[in-house]
Amino acid sequence: MSFRGLSLSDTMVKALDKLGYHEPSAVQSTVIPKALRGISLLAQSETGSGKTHAYLIPILERTDYNLNRVQAIIVSPTRELARQTFDFARQFEPFFPKLHVRLYSSETETSQNEQGSKVPPQIIVGTPGRLKDLLVDKHLFTLQNVRTIVLDEADMLLDMGFFPDVEALLASLEEPQIMVFSATLRQNLKDELTKFVRSGFEWESDKTETASTVRHHFVDIRHVGDVAAVTQFLRLRNPYLCIVFASTVKAVDALYAGLKANGIDAIYFSGSLDDRSRRKAIRAIRANHNSVIVASDLLSRGIDIPDVTDVISVDLPSDLDFYYHRAGRTGRFGKDGDSWIFYNADHTREAKRLLEENKKDKFDFYTLKKDGLKPDPVGLLPKEKLTKKRELPEAEQKEILIAKARSKPKHIEPMHKKKRQFAIEKVKRKYRRKAIQKSVRKELEAQYREKARALNEKADKHHN
């Protein structure tokens, strides 16, 4: 399907084509026709699926450009996401000359936000606290003409405690179209939304955590420290653009300092940065100045970073939803990507929990060694060295390792050594049978060849 098939104006279709958007994504194809009819809806979709344009396009199509009144409000949980959405909206200004968009967020002082407010914008993008302050408390503009309000990354708005500000905004509007976009759809979010959403609200979900183009890998770093493991991995992998995630600011600080000391020029990003440093970091990230970014989970949501090829999680967050947000930084817009989870064989609890909860994605296993990443047939099972009295085929070595791991008890059990030896002998008997069968086949083949040769010689003598 093309954008023209979504009943958009010629101006919009031409604008999208000029901006490089030729075909709608799945969420855009689903949401745009309903949004154009003014239907309130919730769209749950994988990160990087084109959600921003799914609501921007219908808002721009429904805007009355001859009316200098606020007609749409877009609420974003962070200043970075608000700025990104604002920049996306401004791309359409050359095609809609009367379009007026304003950004109100915590990245600038309130007094600066109020400057230039004599002419009301048609579309406002902002963070919840600043929007409540300017639009509800100070009545900067009349909101009588607001037709649409968007709650972007709604689960993040809820988790960060912004819903009281959101409710204050909604209470000041006269039954607008409400469009809610969320990467996850937990019950507590549904409960909050039902407070101010009327009947007829449509729920759209593809129930996907990360794109299908993302490959998921566990990497046993074998008791090597995080800094050494990441350094070694980066030098082996040499990624085009990699984000290294850690769950705490302290861990991010240590990783960043360690990588810099090892000669890896990385960008640092976490909530501990002041406003100026955050803006500088975002500019550097978007300019592709560095191939490595070390970040907290603040960077795992919303902010669009093109061309991320690899994501490393040096740990797993206690809320596993954030793992999917991390992994969703790569594999965007149909591109391939890899998500690498580092773990230690002695600490596998969170890894096992992720495997138990995720039945959709396929995970494979590697061990980080000095000469590269090696496939790990045992995975999260206990690992033991294989003692070799004779050179064994690779397949037999793998099966013996797996048999050892599976037969190792969690606690000391009677006869456990004999049970393990039985499991190993079972594998060895299997391969001995194969070796005997192979030897028998060779002997039979030799006999058949000898018989055939004798028959051929007899036939030759007969003819002569």
CA gap 331, 75 in Å, rounded: 26
Both tokens of residue 305?
């970073």
Give yes or no for residue 365 having a pLDDT over 80. Answer: yes
DSSP bridge pairs for 367: 220, 374
Query: Are 64 and 139 spatial neighbours (Cβ–Cβ below 8 Å)?
Result: no
Q: What is the pLDDT of residue 198?
A: 59
Domain co-membership, 62 together with 191: yes
Question: What is the reported pLDDT for 115?
Answer: 59
pLDDT of residue 199: 45
**Do 101 and 149 reside in the same domain of the chain?**
yes
Q: 51 is written with which tokens? A: 């959600």
Range ranked top by mean pLDDT from 63-72, 159-168, 271-280, 304-313: 63-72
For the segment 153-171, the average pLDDT, to the nearest whole number, is 90
* 409 and 346 part of one domain: no
| Type and span of the H or E element at 458 | helix 416-463
On the question of pLDDT at 409 being above 90, the answer is no
Do 59 and 149 belong to one domain?
yes
Crossing angle of helices 226-237 and 249-261, in 10° steps, is 60
Closest CA to 175 of 129, 135, 143: 143
The number of beta carbons lying within 10 Å of the beta carbon of residue 249 is: 14
More confident residue, 47 or 457: 457
Q: Are 295 and 243 in contact (CB under 8 A)?
A: yes
Locate 464 and state its tokens.
């002569």
Burial (CB < 10 A; 0-12, 13-18, 19+), residue 117, is middle
One domain for residues 336 and 309 = yes
Residues 384 and 371: their CA atoms lie apart, in Å, by: 20
Residue 199 CA: distances (Å) to CA of 163, 193, 253, 331, 362: 20, 11, 48, 36, 38
pTM of the entire predicted model: 0.66
Cα–chain-centroid distance for residue 205? 17
Query: Alpha helices, DSSP H only, in 135-225?
Result: 154-159, 163-171, 187-193
On whether both 366 and 441 belong to a single domain, the answer is no
| 256 exposure class (CB count in 10 Å sphere: 0-12, 13-18, 19+) | buried
Instruction: Give the domain CATH number at 35.
Output: 3.40.50.300
The answer to whether the beta carbons of residues 251 and 315 sit under 8 Å apart is: yes
- pLDDT for 282 equals 84
Nearest to 269 by CA among 80, 103, 82: 80
Quote the CA–CA distance of 114 and 141 in Å, as a whole number: 10
Q: How far apart are CA 388 and CA 397, in angstroms?
A: 9
250 and 389 co-located in one domain: no
Q: Which long-range contacts (CB under 8 A, 24 or more apart) does 272-278 make?
A: 275/79, 275/106, 275/107, 278/79, 278/80
Return the minimum-mean-pLDDT range out of 32-36, 93-97, 104-108, 144-148: 104-108
Query: What are the residues whose beta carbons fall under 8 Å from the beta carbon of 60, sequence distance 6 or more?
Result: 12, 89, 92, 96, 99, 123
Quote the DSSP letter at residue 347: B
* Residue 258 pLDDT > 60: yes
Name the band, by pLDDT with cuts 50, 70 and 90, for residue 142: very high
d(CA 20, CA 306): 14
pLDDT of residue 106: 75
**Same domain assignment for residues 254 and 339:** yes
Of 380, 396, 430, which closes a domain?
380
What is the Cα–Cα distance from 437 to 430, expressed in whole angstroms? 11
Mean pLDDT over each residue of the chain, to the nearest integer:
83
Q: Does residue 271 contact residue 249 with C-beta atoms inside 8 Å?
A: yes
Q: What is the pLDDT of residues 413-461, one digit of tens each?
A: 555 666 667 677 777 777 767 776 776 677 677 777 777 777 777 766 6
Least confident of 112-126, 200-214, 352-366, 443-457: 200-214
Which of these three, 356, 380, 404, is where a domain ends?
Answer: 380
- Number of structural domains the chain divides into: 3
* 307/309 Cα distance (integer angstroms): 6
Give pLDDT, residue 361. Answer: 82
For residue 122, what pLDDT band results from cuts at 50, 70 and 90?
very high
pLDDT of residue 141: 94
Lowest mean pLDDT of 127-136, 263-272, 350-359, 404-413, name the range: 404-413
201/346 same-domain check: no
Q: Which residue range forms the structural domain that includes residue 395?
A: 385-464
Higher pLDDT, 408 or 254: 254
Q: What is the mean pLDDT of residues 168-179?
A: 92
pLDDT of residue 345: 78
Lowest-confidence pick of 23-37, 289-303, 426-440: 426-440
Spatial CB neighbours of 267, under 8 Å, sequence gap ≥ 6: 281, 284, 285, 289, 290, 292, 293, 294
Please, how many CA atoms are within 13 Å of residue 217, restricted to the half-sphere of its CB?
A: 20
CA–CA–CA angle 305, 310, 313 (5° rounding): 100
Domain's final residue, options 187, 205, 223: 205
247 in the same domain as 331: yes
How many residues make up the chain in this entry?
A: 464
pLDDT at 208 (0 to 100) = 47
User: 331-354: string of b/e by CB count within 10 Å (b at 16+)?
Assistant: bbeeeebbbbbbbebeebebbeeb
Specify whether 303 is located in the same domain as 395: no
Looking at the fold, whether 32 and 161 belong to one and the same domain comes out as yes
- Residue 250 CA to its chain's centroid (Å): 23
